[in-house]
Amino acid sequence: MRHVIIGNSFAGLFAVEAIRRTDEESEIYVISRERQHVYSRAMIHEMLSGVVKEPMVYLRDWDFYRNHRVHALLGREAQSLDIADQTLQLDGGETLEYDRLLIATGSRPFVPPIAGLEDIEYHTFTTFEEAKALKSASAGQKNAVVLGAGLIGLQCAEALRHLGLNVTVVEMADMILPQALDETAAEIVSRELDDEGIRLRMGNTIEQIHSLNRQPTSCVLKSGDSVPCDVLVIAVGVRSNTALAKNAGITVERGIVVNNRMETSAENVYAAGDCAQGPELTTGMTMTLPVIPVASSHGMIAGYNMAGSRRTYRGGLSLNALQFGKTQVVSYGFIKDEKDGEVLRVEDAKRSVYKKVIIKDNRVTGAVFVRDIDRAGIYRHLIEQKIDVTPFKHHLLTPHFGIACLPAEERARMFTTPQ
């Protein structure tokens, strides 16, 4: 049996480990366009800022591939897939056969059309090499502009500010982190970023880039303002890498469509991570959820099923655990979906503490916590297990809420190890 995995991030890593827990004999090939050992994209902003050294970004020891008997084809690209013959065509003309294939190709930055962008060297910020290139380009520079106030953009902005640059973040929406926060939480985090010296230009975008010798000099905004710019980062969002699957005739929508075993429409082909469109936990709909916990779960479920150990995925949940300056934020689920729901809120403006829980059909479907994140994991458990919170709803946002407030049978279930 030969397992082939395209992708070397969280989904691919967890798939390898799941396969080896079940199957110690079969071949495993990992193909990755990047040359790096398996690393955490969630830490590249800390590498950029210098908060962590490069070795800390790697997710596993250097002997990971050897210990798991993986043929790691790093710096290689799968160019086409033939699902009838069960073969991959690699760069250089090599053909690789598979018995089980996992497509874990992740996502790529979306770069919108901007006048003058084609005349400059700009940066995106999703990979190890992009982080290193940005750090090199920022040396000796004064002003940075980041287009996009999502997670990638803000983490990049904070790292650049840590390096001493004047940083302006431009965002078309009227709030930061629109996928992860509601308006109140966003306002608290915005104040923290402002205190760090990061300038936010909300409800705006870049319409023109001025440059000299392929280096940006200024950005003209929709508002008409001109912002000085020596370094430009585009971070407006990502798109799933689905071309390989789509060209092979596999069903693709926003991502590669998978069922609850991570199987695609093609026999013996699985998909996981940012490129996959799988079941969402609270709605039952299929959607892309480009967050690390989902990618990790996808990969693990795919790996077990590829190796013949049948596992079912219950569904993904949007999870965000963030920190900007001294402000920690945790959010779960759809935290702005308040229609037909009961909303519980607690806010302490003086301490910039904020908590919100959304309840639908007696179950928590979304929650956000700012600064006071102790025991936030309990709310994740309530969402994932779809627990009826009616008996203890009045305790949900009280200071003393904890495991002890849950029904006895639920406490017992939490601490019982599955056999």
Structural domains of the chain, with CATH: 2-108+239-306 (3.50.50.60), 117-236 (3.50.50.60), 326-414 (3.30.390.30)
Return the pLDDT at 413. 78
Q: For residues 383 and 380, what is the distance between their CA atoms, to the nearest angstrom? A: 5
Return the pLDDT at 419. 43
Q: How many helices (H) and strands (E) does the chain have?
A: 10, 25
Return the pLDDT at 339. 85
SS (H, E, C) 140-188: CCCEEEEECCCHHHHHHHHHHHHCCCEEEEEECCCCCCCCCCCHHHHHH
Q: What DSSP character marks residue 249?
A: T
Tokens of 378: 């309990």
User: Which residues lie closer than 8 Å to 50 by C-beta, 6 or more apart?
Assistant: 162, 163
Tell me the average confidence (pLDDT) per consecutive run of 10 residues in the chain, 419 residues long. Answer: 97 98 96 96 96 94 96 97 98 96 97 97 97 97 98 97 98 94 96 97 97 97 98 97 98 98 98 97 93 97 97 94 94 89 93 95 95 92 93 90 84 68
- Alpha-carbon dihedral sign for residues 48, 275, 101, 280: positive
Which of 208, 173, 176 is CA-nearest to residue 192?
Answer: 176
Return the pLDDT at 418. 52
Query: 87 with 98: CB under 8 angstroms?
Result: yes
388 half-sphere exposure, CB direction, 13 A CA radius: 4
Q: For residues 245 and 361, what is the distance between their CA atoms, to the nearest angstrom? A: 38
Kindly give the pairing relationship between strand 276-279 and strand 269-271: unpaired
Q: For residues 198 and 188, what is the distance between their CA atoms, to the nearest angstrom? A: 14
Return the pLDDT at 238. 95
Query: 320 with 366: CB under 8 angstroms?
Result: no
Q: For residues 91 and 77, what is the distance between their CA atoms, to the nearest angstrom? A: 6
Return the pLDDT at 80. 98
